[in-house]
Amino acid sequence: MTGIAARAAFAIALASLACGCDFGRHTLSNPGVSQVLRVESGDRFFFTLRDDPAADRKWDFSCNDRDVEVRIAHGSSGDADVEVRVHRGYDGPSTVDFFTRTKNGPPDERGRFTLSLFKRTGDCAFWE
């Protein structure tokens, strides 16, 4: 990227932030509790879960939709940073199940929760 293009991209991003655009970034206010979320293409949800290093349990997930991407980054402090990203063309509905498991073990029912995602239907453009 040339210097002029980089400065232009930075200026656009700065102007967007100044006018209140959040680029579809959301922080889940109550992680660890089953929730139903209305989403749009491009939305991203961020939250942190607590791993149990003493019991060697880590958070894992299962998702039933290819248009939803989930990333879990396990940190050394025992926290698991989670990002749920809704891709362009999302039709929904879909579910993302979160659970803990030991290494190579079956899912543990303690702490299990589900994010149910749906797209608004009705009067909206087909390309959204």
What per-residue confidence (pLDDT) applies to 18? 47
What per-residue confidence (pLDDT) applies to 61? 93
The 10s digit of each residue's pLDDT in 24-42 is 678 888 888 999 999 888 8
| Tokens linked to 92 | 């929904």
Domain boundary assignment for the chain = 23-119
Looking at the whole model, is its pTM more than 0.85? no
The residue ranges of the chain whose pLDDT is under 50 are 16-22
What per-residue confidence (pLDDT) applies to 45? 93
| Tokens linked to 117 | 């995602």
Q: What share of the chain is helix, strand, coil (3-state, %, to 5)?
A: 10, 45, 40
For 23-119, CATH number out of 3.90.1150.10, 2.60.40.2020, 2.20.28.10, 1.10.260.40 equals 2.60.40.2020
The 10s digit of each residue's pLDDT in 117-128 is 998 665 566 665
